[in-house]
Chains A and B, each alone.
Chain A
Protein backbone atom coordinates (compact mmCIF):
# COMPACT_ATOMS: atom_id res chain seq x y z
CA UNK A 1 0.00 0.00 0.00
CA UNK A 2 1.36 3.41 -0.79
CA UNK A 3 0.57 6.41 1.21
CA UNK A 4 1.32 10.06 0.66
CA UNK A 5 1.58 12.62 3.39
CA UNK A 6 0.85 16.28 2.83
CA UNK A 7 2.07 18.65 5.50
CA UNK A 8 0.23 21.95 5.48
CA UNK A 9 1.80 24.76 7.45
CA UNK A 10 1.01 28.42 7.88
CA UNK A 11 3.51 30.48 5.93
CA UNK A 12 6.34 31.52 8.18
CA UNK A 13 5.28 35.17 8.24
CA UNK A 14 1.61 34.50 8.91
CA UNK A 15 0.49 34.89 12.50
CA UNK A 16 -0.29 31.60 14.24
CA UNK A 17 -2.50 32.53 17.21
CA UNK A 18 -2.91 28.89 18.13
CA UNK A 19 0.82 28.21 18.18
CA UNK A 20 1.42 31.35 20.23
CA UNK A 21 -1.19 30.35 22.82
CA UNK A 22 0.31 26.87 23.12
CA UNK A 23 3.79 28.32 23.47
CA UNK A 24 2.68 30.55 26.34
CA UNK A 25 0.99 27.58 28.02
CA UNK A 26 4.16 25.48 27.72
CA UNK A 27 6.13 28.36 29.26
CA UNK A 28 3.75 28.47 32.19
CA UNK A 29 4.02 24.73 32.70
CA UNK A 30 7.74 25.28 33.12
CA UNK A 31 9.00 23.79 29.86
CA UNK A 32 12.04 25.98 29.27
CA UNK A 33 13.62 26.78 25.98
CA UNK A 34 10.56 26.73 23.76
CA UNK A 35 11.29 29.54 21.34
CA UNK A 36 8.16 29.18 19.27
CA UNK A 37 5.34 26.82 18.38
CA UNK A 38 3.71 26.59 14.95
CA UNK A 39 0.73 24.34 14.38
CA UNK A 40 -0.14 22.85 11.01
CA UNK A 41 -2.01 19.91 9.54
CA UNK A 42 -0.87 16.46 8.52
CA UNK A 43 -2.98 14.92 5.80
CA UNK A 44 -2.52 11.27 4.89
CA UNK A 45 -3.71 10.13 1.49
CA UNK A 46 -4.17 6.42 0.90
CA UNK A 47 -3.24 5.67 -2.69
CA UNK A 48 -4.31 2.04 -2.71
CA UNK A 49 -2.26 -1.06 -3.41
CA UNK A 50 -1.28 -0.49 -7.03
CA UNK A 51 2.43 0.20 -7.48
CA UNK A 52 3.29 3.77 -8.33
CA UNK A 53 4.14 3.84 -12.03
CA UNK A 54 5.41 7.38 -12.32
CA UNK A 55 6.54 8.96 -9.05
CA UNK A 56 7.13 12.34 -10.64
CA UNK A 57 3.63 12.46 -12.09
CA UNK A 58 2.18 11.34 -8.77
CA UNK A 59 4.00 14.07 -6.94
CA UNK A 60 2.71 16.58 -9.43
CA UNK A 61 -0.82 15.33 -8.95
CA UNK A 62 -0.47 15.59 -5.18
CA UNK A 63 0.87 19.10 -5.54
CA UNK A 64 -2.20 19.98 -7.58
CA UNK A 65 -4.43 18.53 -4.85
CA UNK A 66 -2.60 20.56 -2.25
CA UNK A 67 -2.67 23.71 -4.32
CA UNK A 68 -6.34 23.58 -5.21
CA UNK A 69 -7.80 22.03 -2.12
CA UNK A 70 -5.70 20.95 0.82
CA UNK A 71 -3.82 24.18 1.43
CA UNK A 72 -5.01 27.78 1.33
CA UNK A 73 -2.33 29.48 -0.77
CA UNK A 74 -3.10 32.86 0.78
CA UNK A 75 -1.82 31.81 4.17
CA UNK A 76 -0.39 28.30 3.89
CA UNK A 77 2.52 26.39 2.35
CA UNK A 78 2.59 22.66 1.83
CA UNK A 79 5.11 19.88 1.60
CA UNK A 80 4.57 16.46 0.05
CA UNK A 81 6.12 13.28 1.35
CA UNK A 82 5.49 10.13 -0.69
Chain B
Protein backbone atom coordinates (compact mmCIF):
# COMPACT_ATOMS: atom_id res chain seq x y z
CA UNK B 1 0.00 0.00 0.00
CA UNK B 2 1.17 3.48 -0.88
CA UNK B 3 0.44 6.06 1.78
CA UNK B 4 0.84 9.81 1.49
CA UNK B 5 1.08 11.73 4.76
CA UNK B 6 -0.05 15.27 4.07
CA UNK B 7 1.67 17.91 6.17
CA UNK B 8 0.61 21.43 7.02
CA UNK B 9 2.66 23.84 9.09
CA UNK B 10 1.85 23.25 12.72
CA UNK B 11 0.90 19.57 12.45
CA UNK B 12 2.96 17.65 14.96
CA UNK B 13 1.74 14.06 15.08
CA UNK B 14 3.48 13.06 11.85
CA UNK B 15 6.18 10.89 13.42
CA UNK B 16 3.77 8.38 14.96
CA UNK B 17 1.55 8.34 11.86
CA UNK B 18 4.49 7.53 9.61
CA UNK B 19 5.83 4.90 12.01
CA UNK B 20 2.49 3.12 12.31
CA UNK B 21 1.91 3.11 8.57
CA UNK B 22 5.36 1.60 8.10
CA UNK B 23 4.68 -0.98 10.81
CA UNK B 24 1.68 -2.26 8.83
CA UNK B 25 3.76 -2.41 5.69
CA UNK B 26 2.79 0.76 3.86
CA UNK B 27 5.24 2.66 1.72
CA UNK B 28 5.06 6.20 3.05
CA UNK B 29 5.75 9.51 1.34
CA UNK B 30 5.25 12.90 2.97
CA UNK B 31 3.55 15.61 0.97
CA UNK B 32 3.94 19.31 1.85
CA UNK B 33 0.75 21.36 1.75
CA UNK B 34 1.99 23.53 -1.10
CA UNK B 35 2.07 20.58 -3.52
CA UNK B 36 -0.75 20.51 -6.05
CA UNK B 37 -0.76 16.75 -6.56
CA UNK B 38 -0.45 13.51 -4.63
CA UNK B 39 2.29 11.05 -5.57
CA UNK B 40 1.18 8.75 -8.39
CA UNK B 41 -0.26 5.52 -7.08
CA UNK B 42 -1.34 6.89 -3.70
CA UNK B 43 -3.79 4.50 -2.03
CA UNK B 44 -4.19 6.20 1.31
CA UNK B 45 -3.96 9.85 2.25
CA UNK B 46 -3.36 10.35 5.96
CA UNK B 47 -3.66 13.75 7.62
CA UNK B 48 -2.12 13.53 11.07
CA UNK B 49 -2.91 15.46 14.21
CA UNK B 50 -1.43 18.61 15.61
CA UNK B 51 -2.18 22.29 15.44
CA UNK B 52 -2.18 23.29 11.78
CA UNK B 53 -1.61 27.05 11.65
CA UNK B 54 -1.69 27.05 15.43
CA UNK B 55 -5.39 26.13 15.39
CA UNK B 56 -5.87 29.86 15.01
CA UNK B 57 -9.31 31.15 13.97
CA UNK B 58 -10.81 27.62 14.05
CA UNK B 59 -9.10 24.23 14.08
CA UNK B 60 -8.43 23.28 10.48
CA UNK B 61 -9.90 26.51 9.05
CA UNK B 62 -6.68 27.78 7.51
CA UNK B 63 -5.36 24.40 6.41
CA UNK B 64 -8.46 23.64 4.37
CA UNK B 65 -7.44 26.19 1.74
CA UNK B 66 -3.99 24.64 1.22
CA UNK B 67 -3.23 23.77 -2.43
CA UNK B 68 -2.97 20.03 -1.70
CA UNK B 69 -6.55 19.82 -0.45
CA UNK B 70 -7.99 19.91 -3.98
CA UNK B 71 -6.01 16.79 -4.82
CA UNK B 72 -7.10 15.16 -1.57
CA UNK B 73 -10.76 15.91 -2.39
CA UNK B 74 -10.37 14.40 -5.87
CA UNK B 75 -8.70 11.33 -4.39
CA UNK B 76 -11.65 10.93 -2.00
CA UNK B 77 -14.18 11.40 -4.84
CA UNK B 78 -12.49 8.59 -6.73
CA UNK B 79 -12.97 6.34 -3.72
CA UNK B 80 -9.38 6.59 -2.50
CA UNK B 81 -8.78 6.09 1.22
CA UNK B 82 -8.46 9.19 3.36
CA UNK B 83 -7.74 9.12 7.08
CA UNK B 84 -7.87 12.22 9.27
CA UNK B 85 -6.83 11.89 12.89
CA UNK B 86 -7.58 14.63 15.43
CA UNK B 87 -6.55 17.86 13.68
CA UNK B 88 -6.72 15.83 10.46
CA UNK B 89 -10.38 15.08 11.25
CA UNK B 90 -10.97 18.78 11.93
CA UNK B 91 -9.43 19.68 8.57
CA UNK B 92 -11.66 17.12 6.83
CA UNK B 93 -14.81 18.59 8.39
CA UNK B 94 -13.70 22.16 7.66
CA UNK B 95 -13.16 21.38 3.98
CA UNK B 96 -16.43 19.50 3.71
CA UNK B 97 -15.09 16.01 3.02
CA UNK B 98 -16.86 14.95 6.21
CA UNK B 99 -20.04 16.51 7.65
CA UNK B 100 -20.37 18.26 11.00
CA UNK B 101 -17.91 20.19 13.08
CA UNK B 102 -15.55 19.69 16.01
CA UNK B 103 -16.02 22.23 18.76
CA UNK B 104 -14.51 23.01 22.13
CA UNK B 105 -14.69 20.18 24.67
CA UNK B 106 -17.67 20.55 26.96
CA UNK B 107 -15.42 20.91 30.03
CA UNK B 108 -13.33 23.50 28.15
CA UNK B 109 -10.00 21.82 28.86
CA UNK B 110 -7.50 20.08 26.65
CA UNK B 111 -7.67 16.43 27.61
CA UNK B 112 -5.08 13.71 27.03
CA UNK B 113 -5.88 10.21 28.28
CA UNK B 114 -6.96 6.78 27.15
CA UNK B 115 -10.63 6.25 26.34
CA UNK B 116 -12.64 3.33 25.01
CA UNK B 117 -14.45 3.40 21.71
CA UNK B 118 -16.83 0.89 20.19
CA UNK B 119 -16.73 -0.02 16.53
CA UNK B 120 -20.23 0.86 15.35
CA UNK B 121 -20.02 0.53 11.57
CA UNK B 122 -18.45 -1.64 8.95
CA UNK B 123 -15.96 -0.01 6.62
CA UNK B 124 -12.47 -0.26 5.22
CA UNK B 125 -10.81 1.00 8.40
CA UNK B 126 -13.06 -0.91 10.80
CA UNK B 127 -12.15 -3.83 13.00
CA UNK B 128 -15.12 -6.17 13.52
CA UNK B 129 -18.28 -4.28 14.47
CA UNK B 130 -18.97 -4.29 18.22
CA UNK B 131 -15.32 -4.52 19.20
CA UNK B 132 -14.18 -2.22 22.02
CA UNK B 133 -10.84 -0.46 21.49
CA UNK B 134 -8.66 1.36 23.98
CA UNK B 135 -7.30 4.48 22.29
CA UNK B 136 -5.77 7.72 23.53
CA UNK B 137 -7.29 11.14 22.95
CA UNK B 138 -5.37 14.41 23.06
CA UNK B 139 -7.47 17.38 22.08
CA UNK B 140 -9.14 20.56 23.25
CA UNK B 141 -11.73 20.74 20.52
CA UNK B 142 -13.12 17.32 19.85
CA UNK B 143 -16.79 17.73 20.59
CA UNK B 144 -18.52 16.45 17.47
CA UNK B 145 -21.63 18.37 16.50
CA UNK B 146 -23.93 18.11 13.49
CA UNK B 147 -27.47 18.95 12.50
CA UNK B 148 -30.30 16.50 13.20
CA UNK B 149 -30.53 15.61 9.48
CA UNK B 150 -26.84 14.87 9.27
CA UNK B 151 -26.97 12.75 12.41
CA UNK B 152 -29.94 10.82 11.06
CA UNK B 153 -28.16 10.25 7.77
CA UNK B 154 -24.93 9.14 9.48
CA UNK B 155 -26.85 6.69 11.64
CA UNK B 156 -29.08 5.48 8.80
CA UNK B 157 -26.23 4.85 6.39
CA UNK B 158 -23.98 3.20 8.94
CA UNK B 159 -21.42 5.98 8.89
CA UNK B 160 -20.86 6.43 12.59
CA UNK B 161 -17.58 4.56 12.74
CA UNK B 162 -16.73 4.84 16.44
CA UNK B 163 -18.55 5.86 19.60
CA UNK B 164 -17.07 6.58 23.01
CA UNK B 165 -17.96 3.83 25.46
CA UNK B 166 -16.82 2.34 28.75
CA UNK B 167 -14.46 -0.59 29.17
CA UNK B 168 -17.30 -3.06 28.66
CA UNK B 169 -18.64 -1.32 25.58
CA UNK B 170 -21.59 0.54 27.10
CA UNK B 171 -22.14 3.79 25.21
CA UNK B 172 -23.24 6.43 27.70
CA UNK B 173 -22.70 9.98 28.81
CA UNK B 174 -20.24 8.88 31.53
CA UNK B 175 -17.94 7.54 28.86
CA UNK B 176 -18.09 10.67 26.73
CA UNK B 177 -14.83 12.64 27.17
CA UNK B 178 -15.78 15.82 25.36
CA UNK B 179 -19.53 16.12 25.01
CA UNK B 180 -19.75 14.81 21.44
CA UNK B 181 -23.31 14.32 20.25
CA UNK B 182 -24.36 10.66 20.41
CA UNK B 183 -20.85 9.84 21.74
CA UNK B 184 -19.50 10.10 18.22
CA UNK B 185 -15.70 9.60 18.12
CA UNK B 186 -15.28 9.01 14.40
CA UNK B 187 -17.29 9.07 11.20
CA UNK B 188 -17.10 7.71 7.70
CA UNK B 189 -17.70 9.70 4.52
CA UNK B 190 -16.90 9.61 0.83
CA UNK B 191 -18.67 7.60 -1.86
CA UNK B 192 -17.61 4.22 -0.43
CA UNK B 193 -17.02 5.00 3.22
CA UNK B 194 -13.48 5.53 2.06
CA UNK B 195 -12.94 8.63 4.22
CA UNK B 196 -12.53 8.24 7.97
CA UNK B 197 -12.13 11.03 10.49
CA UNK B 198 -11.65 10.35 14.20
CA UNK B 199 -10.55 12.26 17.27
CA UNK B 200 -8.70 9.45 19.10
CA UNK B 201 -5.13 8.66 18.04
CA UNK B 202 -4.93 5.03 16.86
CA UNK B 203 -1.36 5.69 15.67
CA UNK B 204 -0.28 6.30 19.28
CA UNK B 205 -1.61 2.91 20.43
CA UNK B 206 -0.05 0.63 17.89
CA UNK B 207 2.79 -0.97 19.82
CA UNK B 208 2.69 -2.92 23.07
CA UNK B 209 5.31 -0.68 24.65
CA UNK B 210 3.07 2.34 24.15
CA UNK B 211 0.23 0.76 26.12
CA UNK B 212 -1.48 -1.44 23.56
CA UNK B 213 -2.02 -2.36 19.94
CA UNK B 214 -5.73 -1.63 19.51
CA UNK B 215 -4.96 1.36 17.34
CA UNK B 216 -3.01 -0.71 14.89
CA UNK B 217 -6.17 -2.70 14.10
CA UNK B 218 -7.56 0.23 12.09
CA UNK B 219 -4.43 0.35 9.97
CA UNK B 220 -4.35 -3.42 9.52
CA UNK B 221 -7.98 -3.25 8.40
CA UNK B 222 -7.34 -0.70 5.66
CA UNK B 223 -4.33 -2.67 4.42
CA UNK B 224 -6.59 -5.75 4.16
CA UNK B 225 -9.30 -3.72 2.43
CA UNK B 226 -6.78 -2.41 -0.10
CA UNK B 227 -5.54 -5.93 -0.76
CA UNK B 228 -9.09 -7.26 -1.16
CA UNK B 229 -9.96 -4.50 -3.60
CA UNK B 230 -7.02 -5.16 -5.93
Contacts and interface: CB of A to CB of B under 8 A. Distances in A.
Contacts of B56: 17-18, 21-22, 39
Contacts of A25: 53, 62, 65
Contacts, number: 20
B65 A22 contact: no
Interface residues of B, number: 6
Q: Is the interface of A mostly helix, strand, loop or mixed?
A: helix
A35 interface: no
A18 B61 CA distance: 12
Nearest to B34: A28
Nearest to A19: B56
Interface string B45-85: 00000000110110000100100000000000000000000
A81 interface: no
Nearest to B67: A28
A28 B65 contact: yes
Interface of A: 17-18, 21-22, 25, 28-29, 39
6 nearest CB pairs, A to B? A18-B56, A21-B56, A25-B62, A21-B53, A22-B57, A21-B54
